[in-house]
Amino acid sequence: MARSLVVASIGLLCSSSFASALSWNATEYMFVFGDSYSTDGYNISAGINSPVPGYTSSDGQNWVQFLTGTYNQKAVKTFDLAYSGATIDAALVPPYRPTVLSVVDQVAQFDKYLASKPSGAAWDSTNSLFAVWIGINDIGNSESWTNITRVKFYGTLMDRLFSQVEDLHSKGARSFLFLTVPSVNRAPLYIQQGPKAAAKMGTNVAEYNTQLTQSVRTFKSKHPDLDTVTVVDTQPIFNVLLDNWQTFGFVNVTGYCEAYENGTPTTTYQVEDCAPVSNYFWLNDLHPLFTVHNILAKAVSTALSGYPATQIAI
């Protein structure tokens, strides 16, 4: 009995060391689904070789660009389908403008332009990472609704989100990266609404993140053929920076400089009455600066390389 247990566990160890898990240093393609925190302005509707204008919400590079351009170990071809203002599904939570492409729309774009692995995007299951960072606008835009209970409604959102993840899986996606919703309750937009509103937002973000993590676990348990599935918790990253802002060299983490809110001509720009733009945490009422994205991207690359820090075990 004891002997067969030992043999069985040696067998397990062997099979896991033979498994070919996609690690960050072997990733050649990355597909990104999300909102303004992730977009780079790429518009695949004009063809997969459309230029990447690099329009971000961070007044510089965002986490996708830092991850694939600074913290990469290999050339990573990125198809960033994220869209500013995106929700999971506009039919569940309307975006701020009707033209915004939701995650459902972004996955439809993947299906239309990329699923067939055309020349220029000849990805395969073993070298491709599918990144999903969504939820800020779903939570924020439904914050005032009184016709839902959060627990139930976020469950509906998760069902919809994971129907899209299932779609990607059916097209051959095997490695996924999920990011939790960060501490947007600590952004000026919510601080300005007072401590009660900010606390409520914080509670809702926590509930969303709990359900997201649970949904990833369910997804993983359903599919033994999944390769690397990583959940990066952005909460401790944001919170450590926000709690220790002076140590990290931020001049202000509760407000922003209005002269910078729509972007600045350079990343070292400064106006009278404000510190240089790079010394702030928030560019405007909801978006962190490139400095924050840089730190986040570094943490994501560490998680993708298999280290447990900032990962939620699933």
Give contact residues for ligand NAG (rule: CB under 6 A).
23, 25, 43, 45-46, 94, 145, 147-148, 252, 254-255, 305-306
In sign, the C-alpha dihedral spanning 259, 264, 270, 271 is negative
| 101 within 8 A of 147, measured Cβ to Cβ | no
Q: Could you give the C-alpha distances from 172 to 19, 138, 166, in angstroms and in order? A: 18, 27, 10
According to DSSP, the β-strands at 77-80 and 175-179 are unpaired
| 311 within 8 A of 231, measured Cβ to Cβ | yes
Smallest separation, CB 220 to ligand NAG (Å): 19
Nearer to ligand NAG (CB atom), residue 2 or residue 19: 19
Backbone angles phi, psi at 280, to 5 degrees: -95, 160
- Burial class (CB within 10 angstroms; exposed 0-12, middle 13-18, buried 19+) of 297: buried
Q: Could you give the 3-state DSSP secondary structure of residue 34?
A: strand
Tokens 């369910």 sit at which residue? 218
| 289 within 8 A of 60, measured Cβ to Cβ | yes
Q: Can you tell me the distance from the alpha carbon of 78 to that of 73, in angstroms, rounded to the nearest whole number?
A: 14
CB-hemisphere CA count at 13 Å for 124? 2
Tokens 């990104």 sit at which residue? 32
Helical axes 195-222 vs 150-170, angle rounded to 10°: 40
Backbone angles phi, psi at 219, to 5 degrees: -60, -45
